[in-house]
Structure formats: structure tokens, C-alpha cells
Amino acid sequence: MIYLEVPKRLQPIVNQAHQVAKHVFRPISRKYDRAEHAYPKELDMLAALMDGLSAGSGGSGAGVDGLQRDDPSDDGVRNGANMATCLGLTELCWGDVGLALSIPRQGLGNAAITAVADDEQKERFDGLWAAMAITEPGAGSDSANIRTTARLDGDEWVLNGEKIYVTAGSRADSVVVWATLDRNLGRAAIKSFVVPHGTPGMEVVRLDKKMGIRASDTASITLTDCRIPKSNLLGTPDIDTGKGFGGVMQTFDNTRPIVAGMAVGVARAALEHARELLEKEGIRPRYRGPLFAKSAAEAELLRMEADWEAGRLLMLKAAWMADNGIPNSMEASMSKAKAARVANRITLRCVELCGGHGYSEGDLLEKWARDSKILDIFEGTQQIQLLIIARRLLGKRSSELR
């Protein structure tokens, strides 16, 4: 049974993350929004803090490098790494989404390593900061259309291709690259490879300027006859055409609730701040009585709070299912689709409700509106999430419903 309160064991994680968001992220938020591509040195200390958060969660891990899928057991319900990370990232993104994405050793590649790597690889890559490179110029939301190739040559893999929109792609220690072993075999041949920075043949060719999350670097990377050890392929090199690429896609089942948590965090920040500004103007939401009896601003705040709560509950359910070994592909997509869309709507509507305050750089509301949009795009766009949900509900394969 799922309970809707924050588990007592995870409350210290939530409290610590909130203090970081309030006292570290918020004070430097505008500074690194203006200084795009400048590394936030204040975050160096947070790698150790994230290790502490992991220790505080009872050994299950509170960062993305602790995400894992546990088999169902008879030990009762669990609130493990997935729930801890969702709750922690929610608080951190209440402070700043871009800075949360820039914390060392918390790249999406770390989640991929945990989801796919064997025990030896997990130990070997422990402490690594890994970005994740999936998107290509010709393969955006369709991850199965990846053209980057990997060819085995003796004891080395040779990678060739181009990756774009790689979060933390220039700062991380390594990049987890998705590539195909055989283009003719489709999804089943897609595997993930750990490529350390400095490897000959891998080059960061561009850092993108963005609408939001400017504190986070977003890189374009080329791979030209890039050679890595045979052991840097995550998981098994076997191609199972019946199974597809479920192994690497499992990463998304873990990380999409995390993105939902990030959206819940930034939406809550906007809601709380808008409420404070409106209260100064004498507008205080009343929770009794029908909506039509309230002012337009009051009614809008109440609608947004209800939407926000729906996104939060979907996020909690998807994370709880992951912790308890329950397949959650549909729920992960539901949480990401709902929470991200809600965050977009809430942050923009709060800007509108607060007028000049909301639109001015003297306030963080306009920044939160810009930052929130990426949460509806990366880790699979809104349209892709709805397509995944439809396939699960209708029992259709990807070839049957596109």
C-alpha cells in the first residue's frame, strides 16, 4: 500500500535538500543564469553532500547513481533510492533546476550505469560523474533511430557518430553513449558505452546557448573512430531481437519520475512565490465555497494547486513502484507528462498573475518559467510520453502504434 506522507526515514534528506536549495542555490541562481557556461564552483561541495544524503537514506542511495530496480520481496513496501531521489530533487529544483542538473556525480549517465551495468562495472565506475548521450541530429525523440555505431575490433569498441543536447557533456568525467551494433537489427542492437573524456576521437564541438537552465552545460559531441575498452560496454553484447532494447530503456523508467519531481519542485516554487506577492496586494485564496464566488486570481491559484497535487501524486506512485520492483513504464511516462506540463503552465501563469514583478529580472518567476520548459522536452517529449502511455493502455507494440 502506498502512503502519501513523506516517509520519516527520508525526511532528513528532504530537509537537507531544502536547505541547500534555499541557502546555496537561490542566492546564486541569477548569477549563473547570466553567466551561461560558467561552472558553478559553489557546487563542488555538493558531491560530498549527495554522498551524505545517500548514506542518510539507509544505504539505498539518494542520488541518481543509486537508482536501481529491486525484485519484489516479502519484506513489505519499500521506500528506497527512487523515492529518496525524487523527493531530494524536488527540493533542489525548488531552488534552481539548472544548478540541480550541474551537481557533480549526478549526471543521467550515472542512472544508466546503475540500471544496466553488471556488478563489476558498478564497482569500477563508482564515484564517476557520467553524462548521457542519446539524442542525434537525425534521431530526436525516437531513440530507436540512433545512427551512432559501435564496432568490435579485437579488445576495443570503435564508436562513430554525433550526439547533441548532452547535459553536463563537457563537465562530466565520462559520457554514456548510446550506439547500435547493427543498424539492420533495429532497437535490439542498441547498447550503451562508457566513454571517458580525453579519449582520442571524442570531441566536444559546441556548447549550446539555451532559453533556460543556463547554469547547466549542454554539449554537442562527435565520435570519430573513438576506441574504448571492450569492458566499457554496459551489460551484455548479446543482441536479443525478441527482447528489444528494454535494458537501456529501463533507465527512463527510473529517471522519468525524477524529471517529474524536478517539475513538481519548480512549480511549487512559482506557486509559493506568486501567492506571497498576491497576498501583499490583498489577494488571499479561500478554500471554502465555490470557485465562481471567488476572484479570478483566487480561482486560478486553486486550480493550479489542484493540478500541482495531481502531478506530485503521479510522481510518488511511479517512484514507489520502481522501489518495489513493480513494472512502471506507463506510470513513469504518466508522471513525467503530467508534472512537466503542469510546471510549464503554472510557472507561466504565475508570471501573468504577478504582472511586472513576474516579467522582470528583478524576480525569479520569469527564470522559473524559462527553466520549466526543458522538463517537458528532455527524457522524452510530451508527445512521446503520450504515445508510450497509449501503447501500454491499448496493448500495442511500437510498430503497431506510431
Q: Give the domain ranges of the chain.
A: 8-120, 128-232, 246-394
Rounded CA gap, 137 and 147, in Å?
10
Can you give the pTM of this predicted structure?
0.91
CATH of segment(s) 128-232: 2.40.110.10
- Cβ contact 167:133 at 8 Å: no
Mean pLDDT of 4-9: 84
Residue 379 annotated to the active site: yes
Percent of the chain with pLDDT over 90: 62
Residues 371-400 have pLDDT tens digits of 999 999 988 899 999 999 999 999 998 778
Tell me the per-residue pLDDT of 19-67, one tens digit each, with 9 for 90 and over.
Answer: 999 999 999 999 999 999 999 999 988 776 666 555 544 444 555 655 6
Mean pLDDT taken over the chain: 88
SS (H, E, C) 235-252: CCCCCCCCCCCHHHHHHH
Extract the C-alpha cell encoding 121: 562495472
Same fold, 8-120 and 246-394: no
pLDDT at 81: 86
CATH T-level assignment (fold) for domain 8-120: Butyryl-Coa Dehydrogenase, subunit A; domain 1 (1.10.540)
pLDDT of the residue at 64: 64
* pLDDT recorded at residue 59: 47
Long-range contacts made by residues 55-61, C-beta under 8 angstroms, separation at least 24?
56/12, 56/13, 56/16, 57/9, 57/10, 57/13, 57/81, 57/84, 58/9, 60/84, 61/85
- Residue tagged active-site, from 156, 281, 379, 400: 379
- What distances in angstroms separate CA 20 from CA 16, 28, 61, 255, 355, one per listed residue? 6, 11, 18, 22, 29
User: Which residues, at least 6 apart from 22, have a Cβ–Cβ distance to it below 8 Å?
Assistant: 95
Taking domain 246-394, whether its CATH number is 1.20.140.10 is answered by yes
